Amino acid sequence: MTSRILVTGGAGFIGSAVVRHLIENTTSEVANLDKLTYAGNLESLASVVDSPRYHFYQVNICEGAALDTAFAEFKPTIVMHLAAESHVDRSIDGPAAFIETNIVGTYTLLEAARRYWSQLSEEVRDRFRFHHISTDEVYGDLERTDELFTETTSYSPSSPYSASKASSDHLVRAWYRTYGLPVLVTNCSNNYGPYHFPEKLIPHTILNALAGEPLPIYGDGSQVRDWLYVDDHARALCEVIGRGAIGETYNIGGHNEKRNIEVVETLCELLEELAPDKPEGVSLYRDLITFVKDRPGHDCRYAIDAGKIKRELGWVPRETFETGLRKTVIWYLENRDWWERVLTGEYRLIRLGSPS
């Protein structure tokens, strides 16, 4: 029986990668449910928008009645919940949106899913899954240790963003324990790759370098992150919905711990090779590196132990940091139209396909 997968936040960076993967590599019917905030870009789905298996609902996950309508019309067998406010800096400047979307929105979605699930036939109800996609930032900081985050690491979020995601994780697990809703939870490390919104470190660095603008790095750039290529993450998520055990958590990491300064320096080296014609006045891209005041509550190190998903589901990343970063730089060099429309805001005026 063909799965019917409802992806919330399917126009976002990771969500669009999941939708593309599902349409291009499975026979599933896929519904993209997205509010289309500033981070939602339907142009990221241009390659699949004409598929008869792709459906779109412009819906805010905080609106229960609209969710009920989407569930009733699409009749999903799987929900993959990726809709979230996700930028730490924005959460520091304006935490209210993070509380509303990540906590209230997840609650509202859980209740809509529970109402829908409870009235399904026994056969379909047994197949139903609610997969909540979260972040390693809920675990807090690994400063001055060599430890890795495991699925049993205690939560210790540092920012309004990570605190809101931690809250949503707890809600999902509570709906499993209290109501029996069949849930799965995954916590991933930093994603990167094509179609990444330019406010994040890697695309921001690439586009600033191409424009000859400063490459800002918080503090001394010693913060360590584990980098995961977004298409590897999409594959992992699909393994989890296909074979993951109900009620379980799976950490997903790229096995690529890098200091932020290393990431930026590597990008500069790649651009020297791949984009040697620099902006006027720029001798070397690395000369644009600028150290700025660190942000409040900045965690020093995140690192994922992805052993469980390897042992139980056989997933390992295909991309190394070097191969993935090269692919990413090449994509941005070859897709100037996409990111120029993001920078100008024109992308928000473009609507591909019509709502189902």
How many CB atoms sit inside 10 A of residue 245's CB?
11
Q: Are 179 and 171 within 8 A, CB to CB?
A: no
Q: Identify whether 250 is a catalytic site residue.
A: no
> Would you state the structure tokens that stand for residue 107, as one six-digit string?
């609650």
Q: Catalytic residue among 136, 169, 226, 319, which?
A: 136
Buried b (16+ CB within 10 A) or exposed e, 86-103: bbbebbbeebeebbebbb
C-alpha to C-alpha distance for 238 and 235, rounded to whole angstroms:
5
* HEC string for the chain: CCCEEEEECCCCHHHHHHHHHHHHHCCCEEEEEECCCCCCCHHHHCCCCCCCCEEEEECCCCCHHHHHHHHHHHCCCEEEECCCCCCHHHHHHCCHHHHHHHHHHHHHHHHHHHHHHHCCCHHHHHHCEEEEEEEHHHHCCCCCCCCCECCCCCCCCCCHHHHHHHHHHHHHHHHHHHHCCCEEEEEECEEECCCCCCCCHHHHHHHHHHHCCCEEEECCCCCEEEEEEHHHHHHHHHHHHHHCCCCCEEEECCCCEEEHHHHHHHHHHHHHHHCCCCCCCCCCHHHHEEEECCCCCCCCECCECCHHHHHHHCCCCCCCHHHHHHHHHHHHHHCHHHHHHHHHCHHHHCCCCCCC
Q: Identify whether 141 is a catalytic site residue.
A: no
The maximal CA–CA distance of the chain, rounded, in angstroms, is 68
Q: Identify whether 294 is a catalytic site residue.
A: no
Q: Catalytic residue among 54, 57, 116, 161, which?
A: 161
Which has the closest alpha carbon to 146: 320, 303, 307? 303
Active site residues: 136-137, 161
